[in-house]
Amino acid sequence: MSNFAQRVLTALVGAAVVVAAVWLGGWVFAVLITAAALAAQVELYRLLAAAGTRPLVGLGLVLGAVAVLWPWIPGAGLVLAGGLLALLPAVLFLRRETPLLDIAGTVFGVFYPAGLASSVLILRLSDAPWLGAAGAFWVTVTVLFCIWGADSFAYLAGRSFGRTPLFERVSPKKTWEGAVGGVVGAFGLAAAFKLAIVGSVLSWPDVLVIAVACGILSPFGDLTESLFKRSVGVKDSATWLPGHGGLLDRIDATIVAVPVIALYLEVTRGLL
């Protein structure tokens, strides 16, 4: 099977699994997002290890799980604070040679990707009166499809019209023309969902914010992760997903775009 066919098949299966989990919601969706976030966190720790840092993986993953589920764990803030404090005696008694880097790397993994992934749960599991259960499902599906669609539209636009490098030092193939195509595609998808299904749950300013977040911020999430990989000389964060690499490769755009969208909706409408 060619790499392109593998990518398409993996994407279709993955999208079906994610949409099914979004539909089920509750702890099914929470477990899926937590598992994906922790797998991506392990991949990040491997990149850090390749860079010469030795993150405390076990403690980092426990704190990562709390960071993903913090809205639904009583006293999550205290747990995170206690865990972060525990890093201090840990590096002391483990006699780490690079304690500053080890602690910094461990904490970074708790924030990225784990902490950022919590925004997907906040969006889907919100009980805000203006949203409702059906609205939370459709808004989450809208955002995810806009992220996925923006990537495809950016690829097609870049292949057809791309001339100006977006960030040549990191990814010579990404172009500003492709980024514009991603924004246009994301806006079209968000508008289609609004007109066909979501209706008044999302306003037109909401549609615009979703399009900008998915079309502009998503590529920079992808570029940042590419920079991390390039710095340690690897192509993919892992090889779990045929044609795609690892979980971090797959969710790098999502964990940048969704937090911005969730923050916007929290400020303008209230999600928590």
Torsions phi, psi for 174 (to 5 deg): -80, 135
Amino acid at site 141: V
pLDDT at 79 over 60: yes
Give the DSSP H or E segment for 171. Answer: strand 171-175
| Higher pLDDT pick, 36 / 171 | 36
Alpha-carbon span 236 to 129, nearest angstrom: 41
pLDDT at 143 over 60: yes
Q: Are the CB atoms for 264 and 205 separated by under 8 Å?
A: no
Q: What percentage of the chain exceeds 70 in pLDDT?
A: 95
Question: In degrees to the nearest 10, what's the CA dihedral of 192, 195, 197, 201?
Answer: 110
pLDDT in tens, 182-220: 999 999 999 999 999 999 999 999 999 999 999 888 888
Give the DSSP H or E segment for 167. Answer: strand 165-167
N-term to C-term CA, the chain = 45
DSSP summary character for residue 110: I
Q: Which residue has the tokens 């206690």?
A: 82
| Model pLDDT, residue 175 | 86
Mean pLDDT of the chain: 90
Q: How crowded is the C-beta side of 172, counted as CA atoms within 13 Å?
A: 0
| Model pLDDT, residue 243 | 54
